[in-house]
Structure formats: C-alpha cells, structure tokens
Amino acid sequence: MKQFISEFKQFISRGNVVDMAVGVVVGSAFTAIVNSLVKDIVTPLIGVLFGGIDFSGLKIVFTAATEDTPEVALCYGSFLQAVVNFLLVSLVIFSVVKAMNSFRKKKEESPAPEPEAPAEPSEEILLLREIRDNLKK
C-alpha cells in the first residue's frame, strides 16, 4: 500500500499531469466562450439572415399522445439542430485558430535586424597581414 501511495504521489507531482489539468481547465473555459459566441452572437445573426430557422421541433409522429400514453415520435429535428450547432462551433474554432496562426505568422515574419557589417581590422592586424604578404614574396 505504501508503494502504491508513493507511486501515486510521484505520478501526481510530474509536470505533465499538472499541465494536462491546466489544459483541461483552460479548455473548459474556452469551450464556454466558444459556446456563448455561437449561441449568443453567431446563431442570432444566422437567424436574422435565414428567418429564425430552428430544426429542433421537426419530428415524425408515429403515435399521437393520448391521456394515457405519451407521444411516440422520431425527433430528427433535434439531431439536425445538434449537427448545425456542431458545424457552427467548428467554424468558429477554425476561424479563431486561423486568426491566431496568422497573427503568430506575422509576428515570426517580422524582419530580423540586419547583421552588422564586420568591424574594420585594427592597425596591428593590418600590419601583420602586410608582413605576412611580404614574407610570401
């Protein structure tokens, strides 16, 4: 049991477990932002453009509801609405990632400072080169 606890402490104290936990928390927060963006901004704009289409109410009724039995229906509209929401969320995430990548690319492409011209050799070096050249003759 002590070995198990020791291994568990070692596992928990590794950096990658903490990084993963931070990633999950940040991912959850980002999910809330994206869902709000889609639900509160993108979907209403699309609703205005297309007349407020909502698929969630579409269904095929097999047996109508009575006082004793509930309705038996195939609610394909909820599925269609889930697919539309998925596509919208995917589009928003793609757009955000693309914008971030282009921003990062522009930052990386900023011109690097030009290398400085080599400094002129000192008089001593010039004199030594002159002596070397004279000795070669």
pLDDT tens digits, 73-125:
998 888 888 888 888 888 888 888 898 888 888 777 766 677 777 778 888 88
Domain membership flag for residue 43: yes
pLDDT-based confidence at residue 33 (cuts at 50, 70, 90): confident
pLDDT confidence of residue 72: 92
Which residues sit opposite 73 in a β-bridge?
A: 61
Query: 89-95: long-range contacts at Cβ-Cβ below 8 A with a sequence spacing of 24 or more?
Result: 89/34, 89/35, 89/38, 92/34, 92/37, 92/38, 92/42, 93/34
DSSP line for 91-117: HHHHHHHHHHHHHHHHHHHSPPPPPPP
**Does 63 lie in the same domain as 25?**
no
**Does 99 lie in the same domain as 82?**
yes
**Does 81 lie in the same domain as 102?**
yes
Domain membership flag for residue 11: yes
**Does 71 lie in the same domain as 103?**
yes
Look at 53 and 23; give whichever has higher pLDDT: 23
Average pLDDT over residues 19-44: 85
Range of the domain at 47: 1-51
Gap between the terminal Cα atoms of the chain:
86
**Does 83 lie in the same domain as 62?**
yes
Residue range 37-65, pLDDT digits in tens: 888 888 788 778 777 777 778 889 998 98
pLDDT confidence of residue 135: 86
**Does 78 lie in the same domain as 30?**
no
Q: Does the pLDDT of residue 15 top 70, yes or no?
A: no
**How many domains, in total, are found in the chain?**
2
What is the C-alpha separation between 61 and 73, in angstroms, rounded? 4
Domain membership flag for residue 8: yes
Average pLDDT, the chain: 83
State if pTM tops 0.85: no
**Does 43 lie in the same domain as 9?**
yes
